[in-house]
Structure 1
Amino acid sequence: MTAAAAKQPIPLGIPGRGPEEVEESYRFSEMALALIEEHNTPPFPETYAFWYSYASRTSDSLVSAVDRMIEGRSEISRYEMGEIAKAHLPKEDELTRTNERIGKEFSARISDVVDLVRSGASDSNEFQKALDSIGADLPDQITQEGLKKVLARLIEENQHMVERSRALHAGLEKSQEQIAQLSIELDDVRKQSTRDPLTGVANRRSFDAHLEQSIAAALKTGESLCLVMADIDHFKNINDNFGHQVGDDVLKVFAHLIRKNVKGRDLVARYGGEEFAIILPKTEAHSAVKLIDSIREQISQKRLLLRQSREKLGQITASFGVAAYENGISSAEFIEKADVQLYRAKRTGRNKVCLSERSCETISG
Structure 2
Amino acid sequence: MSEFMPCFHIDLPDKAQQHHAAALDFLERHGISPNPICYAIAYEYDAGRKPELNLEIESHLDRGRELDAHYLREFFDTHFMGQSDEKVGEHIADLHNLLYKVLEGVSGACSGAADFGKVLEAQTEELKGDVDMAGLKEIAGNLLTATNKAMTSNQAMRDQLESVEKDASELKSQVKQLQDQASRDSLTGLYNRNALSQQLDSMIERGASEDAPLSLLMVDIDHFKRFNDNFGHLIGDEVIRRVSMALQQGVRDMDVAARFGGEEFTVVLPGTDLDKAMEVAQKLHEAISKLVLVRRSTKEKLPGITVSMGASCLHPGDSRESLIERSDQALYHAKESGRNCIVSEAETLVH
TM-score normalised to structure 2 length: 0.86
CA 1:76–1:298 in structure 2 vs 1: closer, same or farther (change >3 Å)? closer
Identical positions, percent: 27
CA–CA distance in 1 between the matches of 2:60 and 2:318?
Answer: 28
Asked if 1:253 corresponds to 2:245, the answer is: no
CA 1:260–1:147 in structure 2 vs 1: closer, same or farther (change >3 Å)? same
Asked if 1:62 corresponds to 2:53, the answer is: yes
1:143 Cα deviation from its structure 2 partner: 1.8
Contact map agreement 1:123 1:164 (CA 8 A) in 2: yes
The 5 Å alignment of 1:256-271 reads 256-271=245-260
CA 1:317–1:215 in structure 2 vs 1: closer, same or farther (change >3 Å)? same
CA 1:332–1:70 in structure 2 vs 1: closer, same or farther (change >3 Å)? closer
Secondary structure of the 1:358 match is helix
Secondary structure of the 1:264 match is coil
1:22 Cα deviation from its structure 2 partner: 7.9
Correspondence for 1:14 = none
Contact map agreement 1:95 1:193 (CA 8 A) in 2: no
CA 1:270–1:330 in structure 2 vs 1: closer, same or farther (change >3 Å)? same
Amino acid of the residue matched to residue 182 of structure 1?
Answer: L
Aligned-residue Cα RMSD (Å) equals: 2.7
1:220 Cα deviation from its structure 2 partner: 2.1
The 5 Å alignment of 1:78-97 reads 78-87=69-78, 89=79, 91-92=81-82, 94-97=83-86
Correspondence for 1:242 = 231
Amino acid of the residue matched to residue 57 of structure 2?
Answer: V
CA–CA distance in 2 between the matches of 1:210 and 1:68?
Answer: 22
CA 1:141–1:174 in structure 2 vs 1: closer, same or farther (change >3 Å)? farther
Amino acid of the residue matched to residue 172 of structure 2?
Answer: S
Structure 1 segments unaligned to the other structure (5+ residues):
1-16, 360-365
CA–CA distance in 2 between the matches of 1:147 and 1:68?
Answer: 90
Correspondence for 2:163 = 174
Cα-to-partner distance string for 1:83-133 (whole Å, 9 max, x where unaligned): 23445x3644x2533211110100011111111111111111222222222
Amino acid of the residue matched to residue 334 of structure 1?
Answer: L
CA–CA distance in 1 between the matches of 2:130 and 2:295?
Answer: 93
CA–CA distance in 1 between the matches of 2:59 and 2:149?
Answer: 76
Runs of 4+ in 1 over 4 A off after TM superposition: 21-26, 36-40, 67-71
Cα-to-partner distance string for 1:67-94 (whole Å, 9 max, x where unaligned): 46679x9x9543220223445x3644x2
The 5 Å alignment of 1:74-113 reads 77-87=68-78, 89=79, 91-92=81-82, 94-113=83-102
CA 1:30–1:132 in structure 2 vs 1: closer, same or farther (change >3 Å)? farther
The 5 Å alignment of 1:286-297 reads 286-297=275-286
Structure 2 segments unaligned to the other structure (5+ residues):
1-8
CA–CA distance in 2 between the matches of 1:61 and 1:121?
Answer: 54
1:138 Cα deviation from its structure 2 partner: 2.8
Asked if 1:203 corresponds to 2:195, the answer is: no
Amino acid of the residue matched to residue 255 of structure 1?
Answer: S
CA 1:324–1:65 in structure 2 vs 1: closer, same or farther (change >3 Å)? same
Asked if 1:232 corresponds to 2:224, the answer is: no
Correspondence for 2:33 = 41
The 5 Å alignment of 1:107-126 reads 107-126=96-115
TM-score normalised to structure 1 length: 0.83
Correspondence for 1:143 = 132
CA–CA distance in 2 between the matches of 1:64 and 1:191?
Answer: 26
Cα-to-partner distance string for 1:246-267 (whole Å, 9 max, x where unaligned): 2222222211111122122211
CA–CA distance in 1 between the matches of 2:272 and 2:253?
Answer: 13
Cα-to-partner distance string for 1:151-180 (whole Å, 9 max, x where unaligned): 122112211221121111101110111012
CA–CA distance in 1 between the matches of 2:161 and 2:231?
Answer: 56
Q: How many pairs align? A: 336
